[in-house]
Structure 1
Amino acid sequence: MPSAEIVRRVEQIARHSCTSLYTPPVCHDPIFTPLFTSLFTSIGFSAGAASFAASVATAITTTALTIGLQMLMAPKPPKPEALKAPLAQPIPYRIWAVGRTRLAGAYMLWESKGHRLFAVQAIAGHRIKSFNRYWLHDDEVTINGSGFVASPGGGRYANNSVKIQSRLGLPTETPYADAVAEFSSEGLWTNDHRGDGQASVCLFAGATRQKDQNKRFPYGVPQLSVEIDGALCWDFRDPAQDPANPATWLWTRNSALICAWHLCFNEFGFGLDYQKALLPVIDLWKEEADICDEDVPLAGGGTEKRYQCNGTDTTENGPKAGLNAILATCDGHLVSRGDGARILTVGKFRESRCATLTDGDIVGHNVQYGQLFEDEINRLIPKFTYPATDYSTSDTDYFEDTAAQLTAGRVLADEAEYQWVHQWRQARRLGKRDWLRLREKARGSIDVRLSGINSVYARWVRLETPRRLPSLNGKLVENRRSILALSKAAGFTMDIVGHPENIDAWTPATDEGAQPPVPSAPNAAGIPTPVINLVQAKPKNGTVYIRVVIIDPENASLTPHVRYRVKDIDGLGTHGAWVEQAFPDADPSVGYINLNTNVVPSDQLLEVQVAFTTARGAYSDWSITEEVVSTADPTPPVALSSFTLTGSAPRLGNAAFSFAVGNDTHVKTVQLYRVPTGNIFDPDTATAVGAPIAVTSSNSYAYTDGDTSRTNMLANPGFDTDTVWGKGTGWTISGGKAHHAAGTSAGVSQALSFTAGIVYRSAYTISARTGGSFRAQLLSSPNVQGTIRSANGTWLDKLTAIASSTAYNLLATSDGVGDLDDTVLFAETVSCAPQGVWDYYAVPVNGSGIRGPSSGPAVVTII
């Protein structure tokens, strides 16, 4: 017998599901509500169960911790400054890295033999994309094709005294031959020391004569650190990438994609099953990834991506430390749903991510409308990792309330940590969001009934509470954390803070602030390294040039040089050659120098660097690398004038269309796409039909998808006469239809010739059905069977002939009553468009690959 507690709880849920206390959106929500029941199934309703007690304290939502006591107590990834020196531990923790970052890893081998030192360093416990830059101590160095370090000057690391090699961490790696040659006889380092799946570097350093040793190695034993592009991640927006095949994944800085990787695919992450955690809500994840990739305008011109993530952590910390760092890069809010799905919402308000709570949904609250003095913050300082200062912690201009400082009598400052943010403008955007939340007076917690299930999954909640919380009635609050709280006579406890109405407002000219200062970092020749403020692609008359803005070094004797190269010339990651241009006549203006290059290759991803030269031609170090897409035409084309389906049914393996291009000089091609009918159209995931069609302004075009040579093999396919078809018992042909009456299972058939192994496409229409079922067959030994159909409609099948196939048959069961018509049968070819019901769309594209508005859908049934 069920316990009284179980009966009481079930009755309570039943009351909630049928009274006005139940929040209306719950009744109609197709995603959240039904799946939440799995949570109760898994934990049970036994009040004495240990699993139930544990789940009561389980948090449903997680938000980024960047400020305050919770942030101080939370585990955090190592500081960027700590990553520049290799770890020397007997058993070091494993390391993982995402985005672009600098680190030194941990020693796997540190041994000398004769006058040579050998060091192998584990960089990351997974495959990475690339090694980009190398440092010996704080000297950035370059290596030649053999791996030897080119001396930066002053005799340092000269005469091929240092050699650096690297491994990306492939599933089966290659051992370092030089180390094997030196230490294999002792068994210290052999061909078995491959480091499979472990990205690593190997350094060999040779001592020199005592009098030259300090000149060659002025800082002592060389310590190697590297800049890498870290983990490859599954981009669920790209149909070419397979979640089950990491070889198809690509490197990314997108915060949402990295979050998904850490949850499901990172060996050192949460280890969730992506089929449960991501796939049920994959459209929501795609939306967040697209928002992270949105272009945000910059004060000086150009754009940068809204949210990017770059960082490193070790297994000394649990996966929550890395998750918090990732969420901090995008002002993220992560929900753990009852069925195992995870829902991410990044920092951009949308009404679609809102829920509503009413008076009837709330059983208690604890809301404050102000802050205690000891909790007040009147200055917020965003901190981030700055590549321009060799990957060290830096801060941006702060946000402050001077009036509050006067009232308090002092500055009450706190820091917001965005450690895995490398763009100072992004840190400012995130800092502003946190600052506006800090200024909100309403904050606290509310206890929510089970009827308010939807609200715990939503990031933003609109309160309709004229009786319970009249001061917040009609207001929007943010759900900062929700936990199960069934033991408190409520479904959940939700921590809330008022939602600033202007949290998404961003005016680059005033909100960006100033670029953080970069201390002068002269090279061995005493020449400072340039600091880039902005890189922007500028179209001009169908071509494109690069605008580079650098900070004025306040030294008129220095001449800036810009160089660029195509990042990937062959799709395999091969860099193009550097192209360099000097600017001897560049003049400073208001603290900056503006450099406009000659024409560069259009519509390519370019890497850009800047250096200074002296009057004698000596070079500074090259600046950090900035990337820019050289878009020649940023203007999207206008929509097509028309897009229509042509021809008539039945469409045997093809669909024909016509479209017209308006008076638009930007349009260069039109791409057709198809998706299963009723599906949401996304050109990044839809199937592209054929190659882009070259077009010109104010012209019309025709296009056919598929094979136009197919013909119907059946004679009298519409049953226009009572001929050709062989009729089984119960079949009659009249009035342009074949009719079957109940009594005997039999078919109507035509004898035909078939080729074994060939696929034949079949179609027929059922109407006036009152019972039983029908199916298409190839009469063979045994018969080749189509799918059983027991409803009116047009039905499609594929039948693969065998050697004994002799006839096409439409079989009715003994109780089958109905009419058949419009029969089709033909042999499929590789050129045929796929069988099914499809929505076709047409998208105009300009010369730089920028899409215009789509036209469609044109709905087509292809047999």
Structure 2
Amino acid sequence: MPQALLLIAPTTFGVGGSFALYSSLGVLNAVGIATAIGSSVLLAAAGSALQGRPTAADPENVELNIKQAVGPRIRHYGTVQVGGTIVFFRTRTGMFYRVLVHGHGEIDSVLAYILDNNEVTVNPADGYVQEAQYQHGAYKRVRIFDRLGAVPSTRYEPIGANWPEFDADHRLDGLWTSLTTADQVPADAFRTTYPNGEPSLVIRANTTKLRDPRSGLTVFSKNMALAIADLIEHPDGFNRSGWVDDDVLGVAADDSEDAIPLANGGTEQRWQIGGSYALTEKPGEVLRRMLDACAGDVQLRPNGKIGIHVGKWRPPEVTLRRDELLEISSWSSGPDKLDRYTELPFTYVDPALKFKVTTGDTWEDPAREAANGEVAVGPQMDYAFAPSHGQGRRAAKERIERDNPAHELIAVWRPSARRALFERFIGIDMAELPATWWRVKGYSLRLYDGAVVLKLASYDEDCLSWSAYEEGQPLKLPDANEEQVIPVPSNPAAAGAGIRTAQNGFTAGIAVICDAPPSDALALRLEYAVADSGDWQSWPVASERYGATITPLIDGALYDLRLWFEAIDGNPSAKVLLEDVTALASSDLPAAPTSLAVIDETGGSARVELTTGNSPDLWKTEVYRDAVLIATLYDDPGEAVVFFDSPGAGPFAWTARSI
């Protein structure tokens, strides 16, 4: 049986080792076997995770609003910006109701709502989106509600009110969700209010709360070490509650929160987390990606628990002596030249770039390039859990040392070397070996004599040093983005101006004009309303025209106008308001009548002669005797007119005017 265990141990335990199989008396211990097998299976999962993985939780996908019958359940760590899976979509009386599941498990808080790529303000009291784009007339049209994933949660009342079958038991317990409602608008306002049709929703949030052994609290944190512990202990991770060594975890959590100076001033935490994983992924693969993003390790501790470490150098506490060495099984100068690399590209998720997957500034090692004689590019590292460019560079700097050691050694030691089994790094006091530190890559025990077999790789601690100048140059959003704000109409003007509806008839109106926009892709939009009424009506503006005449209106009445530019995709500029503009039938004064003459016909009668004003704007001619209107004439301009008046006896004065 010992021989069988000896063969099984290196395969089963891998990096985890087999020391827990040995009791202090040098015999097999049943409790030790159970503990070691459980812990080591977890550790082996991290060490043997396949390179490929499901793409459901890739940062490119988590911002989408997905319609599918059964969507992936996704957990989040740190601050993320995500869409979700549509689990409810119905309409009622011109309004749609849509429920999105954004994540699995309770989160801490929502930071921002983003509708159709634009951050919006939501009134926490009633859920209404406050931006003018989502308001038509006197009413706001879009509401957003959310549930953070508590157990039990509460149902969405707007759904229950319209569909009673979705009663209080329909709560979506343990899921972070949102409800979006959007009300209809008139057809001519649809593209302005909903330029992309159904508005997409993305939410930025602080997500999973993490257990912190230093304080005893479970609160939101971006601490990478605490997130790794959560993955190990959580039922949706490895489900190994209580298996993490809290003393070691506390040290790793402190290391993760070290303040690292930034090139542009300020600091950031050494090892943070921000990212997502699907519950369909293998936990070992998720753990590997977390460890990659913090130059970390997990290892079996003497107490049978799991130690979590992140990338920060501490001098080793264990040094092996020359007299403890039994034999050197192999010693090489590291990987073959064809397997070495001098540059390491990587990707990460940058919050400054709208949480998109971004290619980092490749880590280059000039010393290795000189020693290698040429540039060799390593595999692109996936640091999707790293939320900063500097963190990605720190992880890449350590990874290039880990994958390209100057020396590799397999040696057999006396049983006294067992003190090295639970160390990440050790020293060796031997003049025959290079003066370097050694990373413990693996170990095994020979049960027949207690000898310790260590697989070691040299390790230069400088790979964990850091200065701000090593931060590199992250990608930045182009300054041109600031110019994408749609300009408002410049030099807007409006005045009363009617249009001719007959030979001598005019209809009241208002003419509006503004300067042409800087781009032909922008179209002018125009609305009018009776002054102070708020009852806005759209008025069409011809393509590539930057003015229009609104008619028919009430002659002499006051109107408010507003105009804006709209892009091809329906996005509008801010609106320009023109208030209290008077509508007029004609803005030009017609010429006065001429040749006015009055002849006494005796008997209290008079003959009145005149020629109407010779003006195309003439609508009518009015004739007054003293202050009394005696005739309204609708003759054409320049026409001679004769009519008789019967004023009676006495002196009178006749006048005529054109309108």
Task: State the TM-score bracket (shorter-chain normalisation).
Answer: 0.5 to 0.7
Match of 1:160 among 131, 135, 140: 140
- Give the Å deviation of 1:518: 1.9
1:416 aligns with 2:381: yes
Structure 1 stretch displaced more, 367-376 or 76-85: 367-376
Larger Rg: 2
Match of 2:196 among 209, 214, 219: 219
Structure 2 match to 1:112? 91
- Give the Å deviation of 1:507: 2.1
Structure 2 match to 1:203? 180
Structure 1 match to 2:232? 263
The higher relative CO (CA closer than 8 Å, separation ≥ 6) is in 2
The alpha-carbon distance between structure 1 residues 314 and 483, as it changes in their structure 2 partners (threshold 3 A), is farther
Structure 2 match to 1:326? 290
Q: Secondary structure at the match of 1:350?
A: coil
Structure 1 gaps of 5+ residues are: 10-28, 45-50, 242-248, 528-616, 620-863
Give the Cα separation in 1 of the matches to 2:136 and 2:296.
46
1:455 aligns with 2:424: no
- Give the Å deviation of 1:79: 1.8
Give the Cα separation in 1 of the matches to 2:354 and 2:226.
26
1:518 aligns with 2:486: no
Q: Contact 1:87 / 1:107 at 8 angstroms: preserved in 2?
A: yes
Structure 1 match to 2:30? 41
Give the Cα separation in 1 of the matches to 2:420 and 2:54.
28
Q: Secondary structure at the match of 1:72?
A: coil
Match of 1:296 among 231, 236, 260: 260
Give the Cα separation in 2 of the matches to 1:199 and 1:441.
48
The alpha-carbon distance between structure 1 residues 413 and 341, as it changes in their structure 2 partners (threshold 3 A), is closer
- Give the Å deviation of 1:495: 5.0
The alpha-carbon distance between structure 1 residues 438 and 322, as it changes in their structure 2 partners (threshold 3 A), is closer
Q: Contact 1:64 / 1:331 at 8 angstroms: preserved in 2?
A: no
Q: Secondary structure at the match of 1:432?
A: helix
The alpha-carbon distance between structure 1 residues 140 and 356, as it changes in their structure 2 partners (threshold 3 A), is farther
- Give the Å deviation of 1:138: 2.2
Give the Cα separation in 2 of the matches to 1:98 and 1:157.
42
Match of 1:181 among 161, 170, 179: 161
Letter in 2 for 1:289: A
Q: Contact 2:42 / 2:238 at 8 angstroms: preserved in 1?
A: no
TM (normalized to structure 2)? 0.63
Letter in 2 for 1:98: Y
The alpha-carbon distance between structure 1 residues 503 and 4, as it changes in their structure 2 partners (threshold 3 A), is closer
1:272 aligns with 2:240: yes
Q: Contact 1:148 / 1:164 at 8 angstroms: preserved in 2?
A: yes
Match of 1:171 among 120, 144, 151: 151
Match of 1:99 among 68, 78, 95: 78
Q: Contact 2:343 / 2:375 at 8 angstroms: preserved in 1?
A: no
Alignment RMSD: 4.1
Give the Cα separation in 2 of the matches to 1:199 and 1:428.
33
Give the Cα separation in 1 of the matches to 2:156 and 2:187.
29
The Cα offsets for residues 725-752 of structure 1, whole Å up to 9 and x where unpaired, read as: xxxxxxxxxxxxxxxxxxxxxxxxxxxx
Identity, in percent, stands at 21
The Cα offsets for residues 204-232 of structure 1, whole Å up to 9 and x where unpaired, read as: 12343333333322223222121111111
Matches within 5 A, 1:301-700: 301-337=265-301, 339-351=303-315, 354=318, 356=320, 360=324, 365-401=329-365, 412-443=377-408, 452-464=417-429, 470-472=432-434, 474-480=435-441, 482=442, 495-508=455-468, 510-519=469-478, 520-522=480-482, 525-526=485-486
Give the Cα separation in 2 of the matches to 1:139 and 1:348.
40
Structure 2 match to 1:761? none
Match of 1:83 among 49, 62, 82: 62
Give the Cα separation in 1 of the matches to 2:335 and 2:401.
14
Q: Secondary structure at the match of 2:51?
A: helix
- Give the Å deviation of 1:64: 7.8
Q: Secondary structure at the match of 1:437?
A: helix
Q: Secondary structure at the match of 1:150?
A: coil
Give the Cα separation in 2 of the matches to 1:76 and 1:444.
38
The alpha-carbon distance between structure 1 residues 314 and 158, as it changes in their structure 2 partners (threshold 3 A), is farther
Letter in 1 for 2:397: K
- Give the Å deviation of 1:432: 1.9
Letter in 2 for 1:507: S
- Give the Å deviation of 1:426: 1.9
Q: Secondary structure at the match of 1:164?
A: strand
Structure 2 match to 1:693? none
Structure 2 gaps of 5+ residues are: 7-18, 488-572, 576-659
Give the Cα separation in 2 of the matches to 1:156 and 1:373.
68
Q: Contact 1:57 / 1:485 at 8 angstroms: preserved in 2?
A: no
Give the Cα separation in 2 of the matches to 1:386 and 1:158.
40
Give the Cα separation in 1 of the matches to 2:204 and 2:380.
27
- Give the Å deviation of 1:35: 8.4
Q: Contact 2:23 / 2:32 at 8 angstroms: preserved in 1?
A: no
Give the Cα separation in 2 of the matches to 1:128 and 1:36.
48
- Give the Å deviation of 1:499: 0.7
The Cα offsets for residues 250-276 of structure 1, whole Å up to 9 and x where unpaired, read as: 111111222222222x231112131xx
- Give the Å deviation of 1:485: 6.9
Give the Cα separation in 1 of the matches to 2:161 and 2:395.
52
- Give the Å deviation of 1:400: 1.9
Letter in 2 for 1:497: A
- Give the Å deviation of 1:291: 1.3
The Cα offsets for residues 251-304 of structure 1, whole Å up to 9 and x where unpaired, read as: 11111222222222x231112131xx23xx432221111111121223333322
The Cα offsets for residues 384-420 of structure 1, whole Å up to 9 and x where unpaired, read as: 1001111111133222245766866665353222211
Structure 2 match to 1:670? none
The Cα offsets for residues 158-187 of structure 1, whole Å up to 9 and x where unpaired, read as: 953321111112222111001112222xx3
Matches within 5 A, 1:675-754: none
Give the Cα separation in 1 of the matches to 2:315 and 2:400.
22
The alpha-carbon distance between structure 1 residues 353 and 39, as it changes in their structure 2 partners (threshold 3 A), is farther
- Give the Å deviation of 1:365: 3.8
- Give the Å deviation of 1:484: 5.1
Structure 2 match to 1:23? none
- Give the Å deviation of 1:341: 0.5
Match of 1:235 among 199, 208, 212: 212
The alpha-carbon distance between structure 1 residues 39 and 216, as it changes in their structure 2 partners (threshold 3 A), is farther
Q: Secondary structure at the match of 1:196?
A: coil
- Give the Å deviation of 1:345: 1.7
Q: Contact 1:100 / 1:228 at 8 angstroms: preserved in 2?
A: yes
Q: Secondary structure at the match of 1:383?
A: strand
TM (normalized to structure 1)? 0.49
The alpha-carbon distance between structure 1 residues 378 and 421, as it changes in their structure 2 partners (threshold 3 A), is same
Give the Cα separation in 1 of the matches to 2:176 and 2:24.
40
Give the Cα separation in 2 of the matches to 1:229 and 1:37.
50
Give the Cα separation in 1 of the matches to 2:27 and 2:289.
30
Give the Cα separation in 2 of the matches to 1:4 and 1:373.
39
The Cα offsets for residues 670-693 of structure 1, whole Å up to 9 and x where unpaired, read as: xxxxxxxxxxxxxxxxxxxxxxxx
Letter in 2 for 1:505: S
The alpha-carbon distance between structure 1 residues 152 and 160, as it changes in their structure 2 partners (threshold 3 A), is closer
